Homo-oligomer: A and B are copies of this chain.
Amino acid sequence: MPTANADRVVANLRQLAEFGKYKTGIHRPSLTPPHLQSMTWLKGELEALGHKTVIDGIGNVFGFSQAKGRKVLSGSHLESQNHAGWLDGPLGVVYALEAARAIKADPAFADCGVDVGAWCDEEGHFGFFMGSRSACGELSEADIDKAFDRTNGRKMRDALAESGLTGRERVVVDPKQYVGYLEAHIEQGDWLEATEQKIGVVTSIVGIRQFRITFEGVQNHAGTTRMAIRKDAGLALARLAVDIDDRFPSLAGPRSVWTTGRITLDPGGHSIIPGGAEMLFQIRDADPAVLDRLEAALLEMIAAANAKGPCRVQTEALRKTIPAVMAEPFQAALDAAAEAFAPGKHERIPSGAGHDAQVFAQHMPAGMMFVPSIGGISHHWAENTSDEDIGIGAQVFVDAVARLLKGNQ
């Protein structure tokens, strides 16, 4: 039976955490030197395993097994959010690598293989799911042309050039070659920890609808402009944010979430009535009908705000990802593997965060597995998972891959 080497998995993760180390986490944005170091490291490990490797024109790292039989595609991402955790992404990459090693090492799986991928920019420094969309043939050259780093404005074309990747082909995978795609990730929430479980078997990945909502009023002196004639863009924004939060609960599904993550007032002076305001707003749910209902309500509220005045409100859709249901055989394989190595300590749960698996799920059967996040902390350098839980997760993951390769026996 293919077996994970838990010590090796933890050691590999600690090696990766040296690239862009920041406090107890990492700062490894897409296509920066530490990210390139992590890519080179992965390529080396895959070569050592005998995989055929390539770092392609979007910064995806591929390791193709030479096996001729059934194959699983597996991976995650190596870059991080700014000043974030060491496991968000790398855990799934190292589990995939470990699964490739364990399958290769087991004579009973001589014909089978695990192809490994590290998908560039899952964290969205330049866009959203640039790497996995490229690997699925969904990303155009024009998409790359217009992409830039939202932190510093660096064009993705320049970043690729500085990474020595200009002119390389972008590899597109052939879904027919695979049983499907399997990815592991930290939960990024506290459900598993709070319920003392070790494994989350993902049922679905939410769709995200993200909007930029802008408010146009009239900038003026905060002392000399009477309340009656003001067109305060900031106040119009606050009213919409509160209206949304009052109205959405009655329309939402049990797991719907909505967030105003950023608010900017223009010009932002303490004695100036804001003439402009902007909010970044997003809705997430696993059910497209719920997303449609919430988006329609948002647009109704914006229309009402425009009808009422005094500010003009406009909305721009920035991002619309499709919810993905995980394939039932993949969930079953994960259930069985989890029951074998963490009996009674696993549960089927939806994913509120987006993952590369949702891109692959549009092209082949896909599955996802979570391990616990300590305190539910995520997108922060303090993010962590115990070594013990990392080890249990690795073994469950390898076992699930083995079950899928053998037709979920």
Contacts and interface: CB of A to CB of B under 8 A. Distances in A.
Interface in A332-356: 351-354
Contacts of A68: none
A304 interface: no
A251 B79 CA distance: 54
Interface in A270-298: 270-274, 280, 282, 284
Interface string A256-281: 11111111110011111110000010
Chain B CB count within 10 A is highest, among A208, A221, A226, A245, for A221
Interface string A228-254: 000010110111011001000100100
Contacts of A226: 255, 257, 352
B268 A225 contact: no
A222 B282 contact: yes
Interface string A363-381: 0000000000000111110
Contact of A224 (B124, B245, B268, B378): B378
A270 B261 contact: yes
A352 B265 contact: no
Contacts of A329: none
A208 B189 contact: no
Contacts of A351: 223-224
Chain B CB count within 10 A is highest, among A188, A249, A259, for A259
A266 to B, nearest CB: 10
A194 B69 CA distance: 83
B378 A221 contact: yes
A16 interface: no
Interface band, chain A = 35 or more
B273 A224 contact: no
Interface string A151-178: 0000000000000000000000000000
A255 B238 CA distance: 23
Contacts of A264: 263
A235 B260 CA distance: 8
Contacts of A235: 241-242, 245, 260
A227 B256 contact: yes
A210 interface: yes
A315 interface: no
Chain B CB count within 10 A is highest, among A188, A239, A257, for A257
A263 B261 contact: no
A187 interface: yes
A221 B265 contact: no
Chain B CB count within 10 A is highest, among A242, A280, A284, A379, for A379
A219 B188 CA distance: 12
B225 A352 contact: yes
B272 A261 contact: yes
